[in-house]
Amino acid sequence: MRIVDIIQKKRDNEKLSDKELEFLLNEYLAGNVPDYQMSAFLMAVYFNDMTQEELLKFTMLMRDSGDVIKFDEINRFLVDKHSTGGVGDKVTAVLSPILSALGMGNVKLSGKGLGHTGGTIDKFESIKGFKFSTTKEELIKIANKTGIGLMGYSDNIVPLDKKLYSLRDVTATVPSIPLIASSIMSKKLAIHSDVIILDVKVGDGAFMKDLGQAKKLAERMIEIGKGAGKKVKVVLSNMDEPLGHSIGNANEIIEAIEFLKGNCVDDLKEVVYTIVSLALKEKGEVRDFNEAKSKIDEVINNGSALKILGEFIEASGGNKELVNNYDLLPKAKSVMEVFSENDGYVKKIKTEEIGKAAMIIGAGRAKKEDEVDHAVGINIFRKVGEKVGKNEKIAEIYYNNDKNVQESRNMILDAFVLTKEEVEKPKAILEIIE
């Protein structure tokens, strides 16, 4: 068997056998296939797609390239929630303690942010002393104690995906739906769960800009899940404005804590409640959204979800008093207020522009090796559909270095698109695919 023959078959849109895919991926992982040949294969996939059988085999080979973690010791209904990434997406920090308070568990791999999108790891690492689990043993120990098991990416989990993603990044093959689907699902299948709920962001601030393409991605991931014997549900959520009010790291942790104290923004609430509702329905505890809402309200109102977040922070090396004392988080030295230059209704917020405005002051990474400043960020005070007066404050920028702060301010002003006509408030959930 020769690699060039496999590339040629995929170039000519012929179906590859299991043995051919095994040979290609195993030899690539072993270092016996040069990057230029794998690049040619990835480009052939980009143009010719994969069949259902090819995609399942490709994904399972990626999953099996490293450790597969099971939780035989944890007696909970386990939920793995994954977001494709957006601006202001602090859902995991809110969702995990709610699921735990409801008797479920949330176990997942978490990532760092890149470009205009934030990562769960960066948000939690704004907490002094906080360390993500890096081994199966650490993950199980904390998940047993708190019901929350968040693991940073490890070289031992799906190493093939890491190697392939780096190559896709420099060969213009990142936007391939089968390659995105296999990358996400290989990591989801590497950690055992009872249900996988995927939050696919759609819109200006998301990787998937188009609803039709997002649906295709959702269907391919559900297809992989079925083939692997795993229940997968997909929420398509709106990323045509930042989620919530805070963009950054420490300030997003504050917004998550405030949510668990009952002070929540409508769009963030809609996303969180929808995902928890899907988990409760899959577990068989509720019949509809209203039943789920009552259960979620209860664990927020009685403080049990907030208490669990504090316990998770403590078990991970941080100070649990943080939930009542935000001075324990890093704080930016300076604040710049941003005032609207016009009046009207917010028609649109260019979400990617807001994400970039936060990134250039240090809240995110332009390159993988960039350092993040956990203290800096942006808070926005108006959402789509709301009225803004001229000279009204629409945002605050928290910064430590004034190098790019003026540019950040200009980007925020440009991002707020106003109109004289009233604008309908957008839905946070666009569609649910099961």
Q: Which residue has the tokens 């956990």?
A: 374
Q: Are 428 and 238 in contact (CB under 8 A)?
A: yes
* CA 321 from centre of chain: 26
Q: Is residue 115 over pLDDT 60?
A: no
d(CA 432, CA 235): 5
Pairing of strands 393-399, 334-339: antiparallel
Report, as residue numbers or ranges, the catalytic residues: 82, 161, 168, 183, 187
Q: Which residue has the tokens 């968040």?
A: 150
Residue 84: pLDDT band (50, 70, 90) is: confident
Q: Which residues pair with 133 in a beta bridge?
A: 151
d(CA 343, CA 364): 30
pLDDT of res. 117: 66
Residue 116: pLDDT band (50, 70, 90) is: low
Q: Which residue has the tokens 């004289």?
A: 420
3-class DSSP state of 247: strand
pLDDT of res. 211: 94
Q: What is the pLDDT of residues 103-114, one digit of tens each?
A: 999 988 776 655
Q: Which helix (H) or strand (E) holds 353?
A: helix 351-358
Q: Hey, what are 43's tokens? A: 């480009």
In order of their start, the domains of the chain are: 3-48 (1.20.970.10), 77-324 (3.40.1030.10), 332-419 (3.90.1170.30)
Q: In Å, how far are 254, 361, 401, 402 from 334, measured between CA atoms?
A: 18, 12, 8, 9
What are the E-state strand segments in 17-145?
Answer: 77-83, 104-110
Backbone φ, ψ for residue 152 (5° rounding): -70, 155
Q: What is the pLDDT of residues 277-320, one digit of tens each?
A: 999 999 999 999 999 999 999 999 999 999 999 999 999 999 99
